[in-house]
Amino acid sequence: MKTVYLDFAGATPVDPRVRDGMEPFYSEIYGNPSSMHSFGREAAEALESAREKVAGLLSAPKSKNIVFTSGATEATNLAIKGIAGRSSNKKEIIISAIEHISVTNVCRYFQKQGFTIKTVGVDEYGFIDLEELKKAVSKETALVSVMYANNEIGTIQPVREVGAITEDAGVPFHCDATAAVGKIPVNVVGDKIDMLTISSNDMYGPKGVGALYMRDGLRTEPLLHGGGQERGIRSGTQNLPGIAGMGTAAELAEKEMEKRAAHLISLRDPLIKGILDSVPESYLNGHPKKRLPNNAHIRFSYIEGESIILSLDMIGVAAASGSACTSKTLEASKCLTAIGLSHEEAHGSLQMTLGPSNAMEDVKYVLDNLPAIIKRLRAMSPLAPREEN
Ligand code: PMP
């Protein structure tokens, strides 16, 4: 059976060039980067080279602004706990209404510690309300956390405007750029971002590796205490094969970004248009233009996303009904309800995220099969209006 993978937001394959670059770090270059002998120095050089490549992708001023972590969740925890956790007088965190669960759940933790969490609303496309953000920032604000692009509906936020507001207010700005980095240009200085979360697997690097960009002069509390690696901010021997892989993935993403985006958009737009044209009562979630190049997110009236996913899976198509990180909960997506959808509408959504291995024949396969799937599911749905005989 033909298989079509359309869940690159859930996980990406490791680019073979990245995998080749990781190989020597298992059994050949195995020294501890903190050791003083030649084996250690060789490992430390590789570590610093990866750091430079990641810094380059983000246009960070110095490679030492990059702290390697075990992934995006750890980077975000380090950012928010590192800043809010050491704030003795400011007890307020501001986030947007469509942040990833790795941000919202850290905020819940702080709420239990007595913090106020202010949630700034978004419009129907998922763009943050900048006026509301401006009003929300106060002398009590310890941190603002707004994502770069939404991992579900693909909307790209006006990050530079958010950065201007936080800079004016003198409040640290953390940005979860996991979904954006490698797909669209990110410039931490231009965007006035103080801390930025990224993950390797979202750009065809290995899983379980990520990084936090921290601008010079920020003082944070570490999550992990130990040997003082990563300038004391993240103790523990670095995962060198993974970090080397992330470095190569970042270097390739920087070099190939334009070409990759053009390929993804050339598939995304016909996929979206093809579905909207062929399926009645189907609607695009997120903004038609200001969206990630690989994201198609469509909602269908009267049916459930899960039943569409299962039907697609039966014909070899892997798609998602929302973030893999929240798939264990039965709740409607907070992102979709925040953009104004009812619970029924939110549950009827299908997320397809494209990658470099997809081709037009994959799009065609979906377009050839999806309309009949939707029709069949609607015929069984008690919510769908019955056709008159
Ligand atoms: N933030 C966003 C926007 C994500 O999409 C994800 C998942 N890829 C994460 C954070 C968490 O990433 P990780 O599983 O690497 O910790």
- Token pair for 261: 């985006």
User: How many Å lie between the centroid of ligand 1 and the Cα of residue 80?
Assistant: 15
Q: What's the pLDDT at 290? A: 98
Q: Whose CA is nearest to atom 2 of ligand 1?
A: 178
Q: In the listed set 228, 253, 278, which residue is the last one of a domain according to the structure?
A: 253
Question: What digits encode the pLDDT tens for the residues 197-226?
Answer: 999 999 999 999 999 999 999 989 999 999
Cβ pair 320, 309 in contact under 8 A:
yes
- Token pair for 63: 């490679």
Do 358 and 320 have their domain in common?
A: yes
User: How many Å lie between the centroid of ligand 1 and the Cα of residue 375?
Assistant: 34
- Say how far apart CA 260 and CA 218 lie, in whole Å: 34
Answer yes or no: is the C-beta of 178 below 6 A from any ligand 1 atom. yes
* Whether residue 386 has pLDDT greater than 80: no
Enter the DSSP assignment of 380: H
Nearest CA to 212 out of 191, 195, 236, 188 is that of 195
Do 74 and 93 have their domain in common?
A: yes
Q: In the listed set 192, 226, 253, which residue is the last one of a domain according to the structure?
A: 253
* Whether residue 128 has pLDDT greater than 90: yes
CATH number at residue 287: 3.90.1150.10
- Token pair for 156: 């790209």
SS3 97: coil
Probe ligand 1: pick from 95, 99, 102, 150, max atoms within 8 Å of CB? Answer: 102
Do 226 and 325 have their domain in common?
A: no
Q: What is the 3-state secondary structure (H, E, C) of 127-151?
A: CECHHHHHHHCCCCEEEEECCCECC
Probe ligand 1: pick from 14, 101, 202, 243, max atoms within 8 Å of CB? Answer: 202
Question: What digits encode the pLDDT tens for the residues 133-175?
Answer: 999 999 999 999 999 999 999 999 999 999 999 999 999 999 9
Which CA distances in Å does 204 have to 51, 71, 99?
Answer: 17, 13, 23
Mean pLDDT score across all residues of the chain:
95
Do 246 and 292 have their domain in common?
A: no
Give the number of domains in the chain: 2
What is the residue range of 378's domain? 4-11+257-388
Answer yes or no: is the C-beta of 72 below 6 A from any ligand 1 atom. yes
- Say how far apart CA 34 and CA 72 lie, in whole Å: 24
Do 269 and 226 have their domain in common?
A: no
Cβ pair 101, 323 in contact under 8 A:
yes
* Whether residue 324 has pLDDT greater than 60: no
Q: What's the pLDDT at 328? A: 58
CATH number at residue 208: 3.40.640.10
User: How many Å lie between the centroid of ligand 1 and the Cα of residue 379?
Assistant: 36
Cβ pair 174, 159 in contact under 8 A:
no
Do 299 and 238 have their domain in common?
A: no
Question: What digits encode the pLDDT tens for the residues 82-110?
Answer: 999 888 899 999 999 999 999 999 999 99
Q: Whose CA is nearest to atom 9 of ligand 1?
A: 72
User: How many Å lie between the centroid of ligand 1 and the Cα of residue 345?
Assistant: 24
Q: In the listed set 230, 253, 276, which residue is the last one of a domain according to the structure?
A: 253
Answer yes or no: is the C-beta of 183 below 6 A from any ligand 1 atom. no
Cβ pair 63, 197 in contact under 8 A:
no
Nearest CA to 176 out of 79, 285, 54, 32 is that of 79
Do 62 and 178 have their domain in common?
A: yes
- Say how far apart CA 334 and CA 316 lie, in whole Å: 28
Read off the pTM: 0.96
* Whether residue 389 has pLDDT greater than 50: no
Do 264 and 366 have their domain in common?
A: yes
User: How many Å lie between the centroid of ligand 1 and the Cα of residue 178?
Assistant: 6
User: How many Å lie between the centroid of ligand 1 and the Cα of residue 26?
Assistant: 26
SS3 215: coil
Q: What's the pLDDT at 326? A: 59
Q: What's the pLDDT at 303? A: 93
End-to-end CA distance of the chain: 37
Q: Whose CA is nearest to atom 4 of ligand 1?
A: 178
**Which atom of ligand 1 sits closest to the CA of residue 201?**
15
Answer yes or no: is the C-beta of 320 below 6 A from any ligand 1 atom. no
Do 262 and 242 have their domain in common?
A: no
Do 215 and 316 have their domain in common?
A: no
Q: What is the 3-state secondary structure (H, E, C) of the chain?
A: CCCEECECCCCCCCCHHHHHHHCHHHHCCCCCCCCCCHHHHHHHHHHHHHHHHHHHHHCCCCHHHEEEECCHHHHHHHHHHHHHCCCCCCCEEEEECCCCHHHHHHHHHHHHCCCEEEEECECCCCCECHHHHHHHCCCCEEEEECCCECCCCCEECCHHHHHHHHHHHCCCEEEECCCCECCECCCCCCCCCCEEEEECHHHCCCCCCEEEEECCCCCCCCCCCCCCCHHHCCCCCCCHHHHHHHHHHHHHHHHHHHHHHHHHHHHHHHHHHHHHHHCCCEEECCCCCCECCCEEEEEECCCCHHHHHHHHHHCCEECECCCHHHCCCCCCCHHHHHCCCCHHHHHCEEEEECCCCCCHHHHHHHHHHHHHHHHHHHHHCCCCCCCCC
Q: What residues contact 175, with CB distance under 8 A and at least 6 apart?
A: 145, 146, 147, 148, 159, 162, 191, 193, 195, 196, 197
Angle at 290 between CA 273 and CA 275, to 5 degrees: 15
Answer yes or no: is the C-beta of 199 below 6 A from any ligand 1 atom. yes
Do 146 and 236 have their domain in common?
A: yes
Answer yes or no: is the C-beta of 102 below 6 A from any ligand 1 atom. yes
Answer yes or no: is the C-beta of 182 below 6 A from any ligand 1 atom. no
* Whether residue 41 has pLDDT greater than 90: yes
Cβ pair 311, 319 in contact under 8 A:
no
Active-site amino acid positions: 325
Residue 344 binned pLDDT confidence (cut-offs 50, 70, 90) = confident
b/e map of 284-295 (b: 16 or more CB within 10 Å)? bbbbeebbbbbb
Do 177 and 232 have their domain in common?
A: yes
Answer yes or no: is the C-beta of 104 below 6 A from any ligand 1 atom. no
* Whether residue 274 has pLDDT greater than 60: yes
